[in-house]
Amino acid sequence: MTTLIINIKELLQVRETPVEKVAGPDMKTLPSIKNAYLYIESGIIADFGKMSELEITSTDEIIDASGKVVLPTWCDSHTHIVYAGNREQEFVDRINGLTYEEIANRGGGILNSAKKLQETSEEELYQQSAQRLKEVIRLGTGAVEIKSGYGLTTEAELKMLRVIKKLRENYQIPIKATFLGAHAVPANYKGDKDGYMDLVIDEMLPQVAKEKLADYVDVFCETGYFSVEDTERLLSAGKKHGLTPKIHVNQFTAIGGVQAGVAYDALSVDHLEEMRPEDIEALNGSDTMPVALPSCSYFLSIPYTPARDIIDAGLPLALATDYNPGSTPSGNMNFVVSTACIKMKMTPEEAINAATINGAYAMGVSKTHGSITVGKHANVIITKPIPSYGFMPYAFGSNVIDTVLIDGKVME
Ligand code: NIG
Ligand code: FE
């Protein structure tokens, strides 16, 4: 099967020489070809270039993209889309003055979602999660990472990870799984965090590794949740089982989680709303990708990740949604890209780099996804006719996506 997209107003994120990520001042450059074509063979990008140089004469399918922009699909490297039910009551409680922390202390928050998930069958959990996955694919996401962490018992954590595995089997986009057993201390371990850490490390982790249910290990390294010491203990155990860290750090307080992540070769450190100069310094020279989650900042009214400080220090930055029932009930990467421009002072070029190639890096798929490069998967967004690509983040409330192709196939 071959598909030829012609008359593309502008083809974005064209990387003839593949890059695994972009950092610092290079993030301001988004290589593109105006008036371009893109040729897809068996789901893989086979050729692209200027229309004036098009030599392909026969193809199974042709798509005319006159007036439209084509770019790689979003790579959403941080989500929790496997969850049961919703938490709109907590949303109303926050409007009425309670804080996220106060809600959690009353048994709401993560523990509320854990209770719901434990009571939900694996099949029902799969159905709810598949709905969300289909929703985000329609919104232009073509690669996604999904975490456990709403189970908090061995059985329920494994149930979540099996649902992720089933999603991976049934959907064409790449899906990476992350084990987040250390997301919160469950009610039956209240006052015995060390006991729960023992359960995570001695019982859950070996089982997860044995069944090959996760690619990465995660922990909520935060005051009132898990300490830097807990984080180091878990990451070192995870490494012994072959799991690379991708961790939640510096969301509400800066306690040294970034340094722990870097020390254990984390693929990414995520959230980073509270960054001290030494936290930025710690990332310098490392292979760890900082990941910002602006729709979480928006929804909780907490500070935005200081993107300018991070990028201006020469570091890379990725953007992801954090789609989850508590802090970010949205998986819309278009909103993330807009919000990064509007609230974090990222340019459209920086935001698109952060949401495509750098997102791909932060979930370990940048060799196959995240740019228009021959040999990569043909996961692309075709926009509606728009004046320029800057219109995408600018028109923040509009859906400018016309078509999403996954492995060259049009998603309905
Ligand atoms: O990434 N911060 C930790 N975990 C999630 C939210 C958890 C929840 O409230 O359900 C996050 O924001
Ligand atoms: Fe998260």
The residue ranges of every structural domain in the chain are 2-73+371-410, 75-362
Tens digits of residue pLDDT in 248-267: 999 999 999 999 999 999 99
Give residue 237's pLDDT.
98
Give residue 159's pLDDT.
98
Low-confidence ranges of the chain (pLDDT < 50): none
Instruction: Kindly identify the ligand whose nearest atom is closest to the C-alpha of 79.
Output: 2
Residue pair 272/318 in contact by the 8 Å Cβ criterion: no
DSSP 355: H
User: Is the domain covering 75-362 a CATH 3.40.50.720 domain?
Assistant: no
CB-proximal residues (5 Å) to ion ligand 2: 322
Does the beta carbon of 248 sit less than 6 angstroms from any atom of ligand 1? yes
Ligand 1 atom closest to residue 328's alpha carbon, by position in its atom list: 12
Other C-beta atoms lying within 10 Å of the C-beta of residue 242: 11
The pair of three-digit structure tokens given for residue 332, joined into one six-digit string = 């819309």
Give residue 107's pLDDT.
87
User: Is the domain covering 2-73+371-410 a CATH 2.30.40.10 domain?
Assistant: yes
Note every long-range contact of 299-303, with CB atoms under 8 Å and residues 24 or more positions apart, other chains counting. 299/327, 299/328, 299/329, 299/330, 300/94, 300/100, 300/327, 302/251, 302/252, 302/273, 303/273, 303/274
Round to whole Å and give the CA distance between 103 and 116. Answer: 16
Residue 312: which region, alpha, beta or left (left: phi > 0; alpha: psi -120 to 50)?
alpha
Other C-beta atoms lying within 10 Å of the C-beta of residue 319: 33
Nearest alpha carbon, ligand 1 atom 8: 326
pTM above 0.85?
yes
Give residue 137's pLDDT.
98
The pair of three-digit structure tokens given for residue 383, joined into one six-digit string = 């926009």
DSSP, collapsed to helix, strand or coil, labels residue 398 as coil
The CA 100 to ligand 1 mean position distance, Å, reads 10
How far are the Cα atoms of 13, 19, 72, 168, 382 from residue 366, in angstroms, in the given order? 13, 8, 12, 18, 20
Exposure string for 91-111, b = 16+ CB within 10 A, e = fewer: eebbeeebebeebbeeebbbb
Residues in the chain: 412
Output Rg (C-alpha) for the chain, integer angstroms.
21
Ligand 1 atom closest to residue 113's alpha carbon, by position in its atom list: 10
Give residue 412's pLDDT.
87
